[in-house]
């Protein structure tokens, strides 16, 4: 029976994690390694300045005093009885669409699994959605990945709408624009402090994007790739290449 590693960024006691582990139970031996507390928006952080501790909670359920990426590393690199066949991260409470994937601990856990050579999926549910439905979607996608695999260095970012899904769409990432960046406040001593995340975001709802699929009531499945190279820009900037010494001399002559 295949070993499946399940993690999240909402913490080991989150309802979405329990729903995901339950939904995947028929696909293999599910092991849960998740942060002991919420790690939302932690991105792809790793803990390198202190030791990590793994606390057993019940059979095949463990809490880690670290990030989602820490959990994946521990699971793959020797804690589990064997190398997992699949990593599924979620079910996140709230969507992870468009540019937001760069901040998401849920998505970063799947990214870390992919970096370590294990097929990986991130699953998120729009606020007020049905966890049972999201769990069934996750199990469906996971079953296909277990059978068919994924392209090298690719993983899946799955978002489930709040209402019962009308179907499933393969999508690309959308783009999110924030109208405000910070909220300024004063503490009781008069000192100024700031909250990030103020203002309502605006989405470019373009055909074929994850946001468009969610807007239309569909499950969005976005295949993401670890290669961040902008290949058209690379081709466009080829004339920058050459001996560095001559370029530095020309730059120094142009300097005032």
Q: What was the pLDDT predicted at 53? A: 95
Cα torsion through 46, 51, 52, 57, rounded to 10: -160
Q: What are phi and psi of 23, to 5 degrees?
A: -65, -30
Cα torsion through 5, 99, 154, 229, rounded to 10: -140
For 105-133, what is the mean pLDDT? 97
Whether 240 is in a domain gets the answer no
Classify the C-alpha dihedral 228-233-238-239 as positive or negative. negative
Whether 187 is in a domain gets the answer no
Whether 247 is in a domain gets the answer no
Contacts of 188 (CB under 8 A, 6+ apart): none
Whether 86 is in a domain gets the answer yes
- CATH number of the structural domain spanning residue 96: 3.40.1210.10
Give the DSSP letter string of 96-129: --GGGGGT-HHHHHHHHHHHTT--EEEEEE-TT-
Digit-coded pLDDT (tens) for 146-178: 999 999 999 999 999 999 999 999 999 998 766
Angle of CA points 153, 15, 22, to nearest 5°:
70
Whether 249 is in a domain gets the answer no
Whether 242 is in a domain gets the answer no
Task: Report the 10 Å Cβ neighbour count for 86.
Answer: 24
Whether 66 is in a domain gets the answer yes
- Distance from C-alpha of 142 to C-alpha of 128, rounded to nearest angstrom: 23
Digit-coded pLDDT (tens) for 42-101: 778 888 999 999 999 999 999 999 999 999 999 999 999 999 999 999 999 999 999 889
Q: What was the pLDDT predicted at 119? A: 98
Q: What is the three-class DSSP state of 27?
A: helix
Closest among 42, 182, 184 to 108, alpha carbons compared: 42
Q: How confident is the model at residue 233 (pLDDT cuts 50, 70, 90)?
A: very high
Sole residue written with tokens 């978002």: 159
Total of domains in the chain: 1
Burial of 11 (0-12, 13-18, 19+ CB in 10 A): middle
Whether 252 is in a domain gets the answer no
CB-based contact 157:96 (threshold 8 Å): yes
Strands of 3-129 (E only): list them: 3-7, 29-35, 54-58, 61-64, 86-93, 120-125
Digit-coded pLDDT (tens) for 77-91: 999 999 999 999 999
Q: What is the three-class DSSP state of 191?
A: coil
- Distance from C-alpha of 110 to C-alpha of 121, rounded to nearest angstrom: 6
Percent of the chain with pLDDT over 90: 73
Q: Which of 29-43, 128-142, 185-199 has the highest mean pLDDT?
A: 128-142
Give the DSSP letter string of 210-252: HHHHHHTT-EEEEEEES----HHHHHHTGGG-S-HHHHHHHHH
Query: Range of 93's domain?
Result: 3-174+205-231
């Amino acid at each position: 029976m295949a070993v499946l590693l399940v993690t999240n960024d909402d913490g080991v006691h989150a309802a979405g994690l329990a729903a995901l582990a339950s939904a995947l139970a028929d696909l293999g031996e599910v092991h849960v390694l998740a942060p002991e507390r919420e790690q939302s928006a932690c991105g792809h952080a790793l803990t390198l300045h202190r030791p990590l501790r793994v606390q057993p909670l019940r059979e095949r359920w463990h809490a880690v005093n670290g990030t989602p990426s820490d959990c994946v590393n521990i699971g793959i690199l020797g804690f589990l009885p064997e190398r997992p066949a699949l990593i599924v991260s979620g079910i996140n409470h709230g969507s992870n669409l468009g540019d937001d994937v760069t901040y998401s601990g849920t998505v970063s856990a799947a990214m870390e699994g992919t970096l370590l050579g294990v097929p990986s999926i991130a699953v998120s549910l729009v606020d007020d959605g049905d966890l049972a439905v999201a769990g069934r979607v996750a199990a469906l996608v996971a079953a296909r990945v277990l059978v068919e695999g994924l392209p090298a260095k690719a993983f899946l970012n799955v978002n489930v709408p709040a209402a019962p899904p009308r179907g499933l769409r393969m999508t690309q990432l959308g783009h999110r624009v924030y109208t405000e960046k910070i909220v300024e406040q004063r503490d009781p001593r008069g000192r100024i402090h700031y909250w990030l995340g103020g203002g309502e975001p605006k989405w470019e709802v373009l055909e074929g994007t994850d946001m468009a699929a969610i807007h239309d009531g569909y499950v969005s499945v976005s295949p993401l790739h670890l290669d961040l190279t902008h290949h058209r820009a690379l081709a466009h900037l080829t004339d920058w290449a050459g001996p560095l010494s001559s370029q530095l001399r020309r730059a120094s002559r142009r300097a005032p």
